[in-house]
Structure 1
Amino acid sequence: MLSATHEELLRRSKELDLPTQHHIDGRSEAGDGGSFAVISPRDGQTLVRVADAGEAEVDLAVAAARRAFDRGPWPRLAPAERGRVLLRIADLLEERREELALTVSLEMGKPVTDAYAVELRAAINTFRWYGQLADKLTDEAPHTAPDALALVTREPTGVVGAVVPWNFPLTLAGWKVAPALAAGCTVVLKPSESSPLSALLLGRVATEAGLPPGVLNVVTGDGPVAGRALGLHPDVDVLAFTGSTAVGRHFLRYAADSNLKRVWLELGGKSPNIVLPDAPDLEKAAATAAWGIFFNQGEMCTAPSRLLVHSSIAEQVTEAVVARARELRVGDPLDPATEMGALVGDGHLGRVLEHVASGLDEGARLRVGGGRTLAETGGSYLRPTVFDRVDPGMRLAREEIFGPVLSVLAFDDLDEAVRLANATEYGLAAGLWTSDLSTAHKVSRALKAGTVWVNCYEEGDLTVPFGGMKQSGNGRDKSAHAIEKYTELKTTWIQL
């Protein structure tokens, strides 16, 4: 656990050696695209200026990845050796855990305790799990006619473009990069322009761990330029993206307009969290609902932003969530006592506040929060916010807010709960609280979501896949199923 004091963490944050250049072909590369400022949402101050990738820098990174795949050793190594490199990456991430946690906290605003205990734990475990999996993938030899031998082999697809968001910059990078590397692919990683620093440090760590030059490249820049260039690039074979549904549509168009590269999308969510009167522990259900929407400042695609509560217990559960929101400590992300940090920036804070205003205009009842706080710090802080009396047609109930804003909707029977839960274009995750085993199975099957948590929320590990239905995307991160995104099936038929 992170045991340093606020003062010690402030001092150490000022001593960080923050990267400023792209990581291409195993070395730092300034490029010719100029630079952009990385603003810390904790105080609105510039941390560093980072190289800004244009088409030329993306071309350079893709060319390095192409050479490494076509002529380099990585795809040709024994899977066990690839696994050992991934395990060394995990070990180095562990050694540099505090430095990376501080960097994540500074660049995107999450409490450093969460960055250390959750973000880094997940990233380390991801590289370790795929390192252990690398030599355990199997091919097939289907039973055919006695005079033939059929082989079905998995081969690495090639160059992977990975575009990841700012809310979990290392975890989500790991979910793309680790299985792609385990499969034998090479990668060009483009992090969000709001959180480029931790990704650049990941590139450094991978090279230090012995990853050959060109196997993992990191380019920093904005989506309309660097992301578009990666999506359109004819030498990128696979594009893996986590982010908004609107941007996901762009990547599908880029694939259609270029080489028909495979595009895997993990997109937005408007996840329902259903609480039935027979929930095994209503206090736990309410506490988990509050934790789920306020953790990581509500900046989670799986955040249970719609609390669907049976009308007989709606006020009881809502009041418990409101009480927790009132006592939640919002503050400096570098303070170990902080429970909710800063939103990623003023632009995003403004968009969240627009949704709050729309809720008030449309007649929802504001129970707590709803306004900016700690403005004197220069940071982007918002009070934990809860609305009830939310109608399913309101923007609060339909649109992804990606902030600490909870909408409470009441229902009278189970059929209505399922209809409300599925009344969204998204299908990423859902929660259900009940003591009845039959209800748990029936409702879980009826919910259109890639993950359903019963009597819990956000639980799981790397053995299970993660991804969405409907406009929440396609394909799966985590588990052995993630390998499917980065491999091609080849059939070899041998006539004996």
Structure 2
Amino acid sequence: MPKSLIASAEWSLLLSRLRALAPEAFDSQGRVLNLVAREWGNPGHGKPYLSPVDGSQLGLLPMIDLSTATHAVASAAAEAEEWARVDLDTRKARVSACLDLLHENHELLALLLTWEIGKPVPQSRVSVERCISGVKWYVENIESMMEGREPLGLISNIASWNYPMSVLMHAALVQALAGNAVIAKSPTDGGLLSLTLAMAFARRCGLPMSLVSGSGGKLSEALVRDPHIACLSFVGGKVNGRDIAASLYDRKKRYMLEMEGVNAYGIWRFSDWNQLAKQLKKGFEYGKQRCTAYPRFVVERGLVPRFLEMYLPMLTSLKVGHPLLGETRAAEPPSVDFGPLINSGKVEELHAMMSEAEAKGAIPLYKGRLEPNLFLPNQDVSAYLGPCAFLHVPRNCRLYHNEPFGPVDSIVVVDTEEELVTEMNVSNGALVASLACDEPETARRIASELRAFKVGINTTRSRGDREESFGGIGQSWQGCFVGGAYLVQAVTEGPPGERLFGNFPDYTLLPEKR
């Protein structure tokens, strides 16, 4: 990090810059406001909003009640009718103007993200850049995608905290570009301030955006089931996703529900260990707090010694620490591979899962320690967890069946291809899977049996964007698939009788084999 940016990473300075750029989004007491009925207002019931980086308070979440959310939805739906009549060239110009503002302030947005969700600065910059470049691609290609299609109306967005810019804001801008109004809920655990700034830019550019904060359970009647909502985009856990899917089953409402699954990497008849080590180390970015992270490795018994010879040194090489340490000290320490998890509660949850597995017979292969030189003196480190790995996790453990959503790996040893496939398909559907194998025909045969939307052979897979579609199989996804033209199709109405590309309760339409 250039030394000229050291001082700019201090939170008080970032907050001052934010308030100067978007004064309309704060009240006279400095409280963040909600964006309702085209105006910023209503600080709601303030809930302390803490940084995972050091436990400090960043502000107050402006938590609103159901009646306010219902009013916000009704107002946004009225705006949707107006926006649908705006021509495509005007929509493109306004979205492009918003992208210009995001680009001008990309460094501030990245630093806000780091404080809010704990992502190291270089990774935060990538998140902001992907939002900007991804939406720009849609602006350049939207004409052909919109041929013969009309906007749906009001799109509701409920997303997890880990990608507020490159997932939530990206989707919202494309939805508006396609002629819809947008209402989004700020993730409760992170992303409030970066989204507030981005939404302030969008509203300033004349885009029909609303942003509210509150309890998902309390606001779901408005943001999920209200008849004004034409389409729901949800990214989150399986439990909440199942409840939402059940509530939408008998309603004629468009939806995209991205939920969790255990993404597995299989190793079978393989020898390129150096290349695999690079993939697995990169996979620990952001502490594996990604829907496309690989927490489960299924290894052929005869390859276990070579796998561990590669894997354990890779784990020991990972650096976990304060993601802004280089921003707050004149001396630049080694960069960290990942910083904190989203909060101390998540760390406690993972410790409970690991303790249960160990008590029932799992073998702890590695438990990473936190190095003091990668933290500030007397810093709160309760949200930090070093990488951990377990062998032979029993089937009656949560760690066996559930996605940890953190830096905790499980290693499963198998003897046959049938076992390999069974253990890789443990979660009844996943977003991604990969297979490391030297034999192309064997790899293709095994890959065809894996229940994942994307399968990589000797490489990892990711969400992707632009032309690349994204979805899930089984319990990992319900509704329309997205990405490329499919994202536009998901939020627009096509010709009568159109069958959307997706994964629905009444039928399943999957992509051709990878």
TM-score (norm. length: structure 2)? 0.85
In structure 2, what is the equivalent of residue 233 of structure 1? 226
In structure 2, what is the equivalent of residue 179 of structure 1? 174
Residue identity matched to 2:75 = A
Question: In structure 2, do the counterparts of structure 1 residues 128 and 274 end up closer, same or farther at CA, with 3 Å as the change threshold?
Answer: same
Residue identity matched to 1:445 = S
C-alpha displacement of 1:4: 4.6
Question: In structure 2, do the counterparts of structure 1 residues 192 and 354 end up closer, same or farther at CA, with 3 Å as the change threshold?
Answer: same
Does structure 1 residue 335 correspond to structure 2 residue 335?
A: no
- Of the three residues 406, 423, 439, the one matched with 2:409 is 406
- Between the two structures, name the one with larger relative contact order (CA 8 Å, sep ≥ 6): 1
- Of the three residues 249, 270, 289, the one matched with 2:280 is 289
Q: 8 Å contact 1:109–1:341 — kept in the other structure?
A: yes
In structure 1, what is the equivalent of residue 350 of structure 2? 352
Task: Determine the C-alpha separation between the residues in 2 that align with 1:372 and 1:260.
Answer: 51
Partner SS for 2:339: coil
- Of the three residues 254, 260, 269, the one matched with 1:268 is 260
Task: Determine the C-alpha separation between the residues in 1 that align with 2:146 and 2:213.
Answer: 36
Question: In structure 2, do the counterparts of structure 1 residues 359 and 3 end up closer, same or farther at CA, with 3 Å as the change threshold?
Answer: farther
Does structure 1 residue 201 correspond to structure 2 residue 197?
A: yes
Deviations 1:433-490 (A, max 9, x none): 2233223322222111111122221454421111111110122232111122211234
The equivalences for 1:86-235 within 5 A come to: 86-116=95-125, 118-137=126-145, 139=147, 153-195=148-190, 196-208=192-204, 210-212=205-207, 215-235=208-228
- Of the three residues 397, 419, 422, the one matched with 1:419 is 422
Q: 8 Å contact 1:42–1:342 — kept in the other structure?
A: yes
Does structure 1 residue 77 correspond to structure 2 residue 86?
A: yes
Question: In structure 2, do the counterparts of structure 1 residues 486 and 327 end up closer, same or farther at CA, with 3 Å as the change threshold?
Answer: same
Partner SS for 1:367: strand
C-alpha displacement of 1:291: 2.6
Q: 8 Å contact 1:53–1:220 — kept in the other structure?
A: yes
In structure 2, what is the equivalent of residue 147 of structure 1? none
Task: Determine the C-alpha separation between the residues in 2 that align with 1:465 and 1:345.
Answer: 31
Q: 8 Å contact 1:13–1:102 — kept in the other structure?
A: no
Equivalent pairs: percent with the same residue? 26
In structure 1, what is the equivalent of residue 63 of structure 2? 52
Task: Determine the C-alpha separation between the residues in 2 that align with 1:107 and 1:323.
Answer: 31
Does structure 1 residue 242 correspond to structure 2 residue 235?
A: yes
Q: 8 Å contact 2:14–2:112 — kept in the other structure?
A: no
Task: Determine the C-alpha separation between the residues in 1 that align with 2:371 and 2:254.
Answer: 43
- Give structure 2 stretches of 5+ with no counterpart: 20-24, 26-31, 327-334, 498-514
- Of the three residues 453, 477, 484, the one matched with 1:479 is 484
Q: 8 Å contact 2:281–2:318 — kept in the other structure?
A: no
Task: Determine the C-alpha separation between the residues in 1 that align with 2:357 and 2:460.
Answer: 25
Question: In structure 2, do the counterparts of structure 1 residues 202 and 395 end up closer, same or farther at CA, with 3 Å as the change threshold?
Answer: same
Deviations 1:112-158 (A, max 9, x none): 22111x2112211222122222212254xxxxxxxxxxxxx322111
Residue identity matched to 1:206 = A
In structure 2, what is the equivalent of residue 454 of structure 1? 457
Question: In structure 2, do the counterparts of structure 1 residues 305 and 122 end up closer, same or farther at CA, with 3 Å as the change threshold?
Answer: same
C-alpha displacement of 1:57: 2.5
Does structure 1 residue 439 correspond to structure 2 residue 442?
A: yes
Residue identity matched to 1:107 = E
C-alpha displacement of 1:6: 7.6
Question: In structure 2, do the counterparts of structure 1 residues 89 and 444 end up closer, same or farther at CA, with 3 Å as the change threshold?
Answer: farther
Task: Determine the C-alpha separation between the residues in 2 that align with 1:361 and 1:422.
Answer: 25
Report which stretch shifted further, 11-20 or 170-179: 11-20
C-alpha displacement of 1:317: 1.8
**How many residues end up aligned between the 2 structures?**
468
Deviations 1:234-278 (A, max 9, x none): 211111100001111222244358x54233200002100112233
Partner SS for 2:435: strand
Task: Determine the C-alpha separation between the residues in 2 that align with 1:491 and 1:389.
Answer: 52
C-alpha displacement of 1:315: 2.5
Q: 8 Å contact 2:118–2:342 — kept in the other structure?
A: yes
Task: Determine the C-alpha separation between the residues in 2 that align with 1:221 and 1:319.
Answer: 48
In structure 2, what is the equivalent of residue 10 of structure 1? 9
In structure 1, what is the equivalent of residue 51 of structure 2? 40
Report which stretch shifted further, 389-398 or 321-330: 389-398
Report which stretch shifted further, 4-13 or 269-278: 4-13
Q: 8 Å contact 2:357–2:394 — kept in the other structure?
A: no
Residue identity matched to 1:344 = I
Question: In structure 2, do the counterparts of structure 1 residues 355 and 371 end up closer, same or farther at CA, with 3 Å as the change threshold?
Answer: farther
Partner SS for 2:184: strand
Does structure 1 residue 378 correspond to structure 2 residue 380?
A: yes
Partner SS for 1:36: strand
Deviations 1:310-343 (A, max 9, x none): 2222222224222222221111121352221011
Task: Determine the C-alpha separation between the residues in 1 that align with 2:436 and 2:91.
Answer: 42
C-alpha displacement of 1:9: 4.5
Q: 8 Å contact 2:368–2:387 — kept in the other structure?
A: yes
Task: Determine the C-alpha separation between the residues in 1 that align with 2:389 and 2:320.
Answer: 15
C-alpha displacement of 1:14: 3.3
TM-score (norm. length: structure 1)? 0.88
Partner SS for 2:149: strand
Question: In structure 2, do the counterparts of structure 1 residues 319 and 84 end up closer, same or farther at CA, with 3 Å as the change threshold?
Answer: farther
Question: In structure 2, do the counterparts of structure 1 residues 325 and 14 end up closer, same or farther at CA, with 3 Å as the change threshold?
Answer: farther
Q: 8 Å contact 1:289–1:307 — kept in the other structure?
A: no
Partner SS for 1:218: strand
Residue identity matched to 1:351 = E
Partner SS for 1:381: coil
Question: In structure 2, do the counterparts of structure 1 residues 353 and 447 end up closer, same or farther at CA, with 3 Å as the change threshold?
Answer: same
In structure 2, what is the equivalent of residue 308 of structure 1? 298
Residue identity matched to 2:265 = N
Runs of 4+ in 1 over 4 A off after TM superposition: 370-376
Task: Determine the C-alpha separation between the residues in 2 that align with 1:155 and 1:410.
Answer: 51
C-alpha displacement of 1:393: 5.1
C-alpha displacement of 1:284: 1.6
